[in-house]
Amino acid sequence: MQKYSKQTRILLAVDCIIFGFDGDTLKILLIKRAFQPEKDNWSLMGGFVQPQESLDQAANRILKQLTDLEGVYLEQLHTFGSTKRDPIERTVSVTYFALIDINKYQTQLSKDYHAEWFPLKRFPKLIFDQQEMVEAAKKRIRYKAAMHPILFELLPGKFTLPQLQTLYECVFNTQIDKRNFSKRILATGLLIKLTDKDKAGSKRGAFYYQLNMQNYYAKFQAFMNFIPNPDTLSQ
């Protein structure tokens, strides 16, 4: 097999940042690292890319292997290649972020790697440069959510307006006026109002809604009418 001469080996890895929403809190899924260095410390889902795999295939395999999750929203984020990011060997990592409905996938989590959900506002220290990865993912999601309905991947098939508002407030780390939020999002025509209600919070209850995907693609910029400007938000 022909190879490039006088070149140094560099390992290629993928790290997956999994976000979930339980109806009240935005969370991140972490595991206990199974090998040295940093064994038993909290880590993102990660692993090395195999010769026969594409990056996307490697990310999906690692998710399935470490958490038993598959078929979730997964998007490539950024490449981290600091020369000293891994103390063992020079390793370049391509990061992905995933968005899931916690309640939908809770029973699928693998117990072998001690996968555990933590609130995004307070989670344990991560290995290597993974904290930087999480911060980059948070920023990307804010920008994406201002133009695309990706946050609906975090919600069940039907949801209430209070749940939707709570989700956006968690992602954008800001308070949104309830009346203004409801008025603007309903004006987009992107939601379908259902007949049943969620009465867990009050006797009056809140109507359930679902996303009208057909209207969304017809009004592609509608979400930008009510999402806060990401440039003005705190980290």
CATH number at residue 209: 1.10.10.10
- The verdict on residue 151 lying in a domain is no
- The verdict on residue 223 lying in a domain is yes
Residue 224 has pLDDT above 60, yes or no: no
Q: What six digits make up the tokens of 85? A: 């990011």
One-letter amino acid at 140 equals R
Residue 202 confidence class, pLDDT cut points 50, 70, 90: low
Claim to verify: residue 109 and residue 15 sit in the same structural domain? yes
Least confident of 2-11, 110-119, 124-133, 197-206: 197-206
Determine if residue 128 is left, alpha or beta; phi over 0 gives left, psi from -120 to 50 gives alpha, anything else beta. left
Claim to verify: residue 52 and residue 125 sit in the same structural domain? yes
Residue 127 burial (CB count, 10 A): 17
Least confident of 1-10, 28-37, 83-92, 131-140: 1-10
Residue 219 is predicted with a pLDDT of: 64
Q: What six digits make up the tokens of 118? A: 């933590």
Residue 226 confidence class, pLDDT cut points 50, 70, 90: low
Claim to verify: residue 61 and residue 81 sit in the same structural domain? yes
Claim to verify: residue 123 and residue 27 sit in the same structural domain? yes
Q: How far apart are the first and last CA of the chain?
A: 49
Residue 80 is predicted with a pLDDT of: 98
Q: What are the backbone angles phi and psi of residue 96, rounded to the nearest 5°?
A: -130, 155
Claim to verify: residue 139 and residue 161 sit in the same structural domain? no
Residue 140 has pLDDT above 90, yes or no: yes
**What does the pLDDT average to over 206-233?**
68
- The verdict on residue 71 lying in a domain is yes
Which structural domain range is residue 52 located in? 11-145
Query: Hey, what long-range contacts does 22-26 have (CB within 8 A, 24 or more apart)?
Result: 22/102, 22/103, 22/117, 23/103, 23/163, 23/166, 24/166, 25/119, 25/120, 25/170, 26/119, 26/120, 26/121, 26/154, 26/167, 26/170, 26/171
Claim to verify: residue 128 and residue 22 sit in the same structural domain? yes
Give the separation between CA 20 and CA 153, rounded to whole angstroms.
9
**What does the pLDDT average to over 62-72?**
87
Residue 23 has pLDDT above 80, yes or no: yes
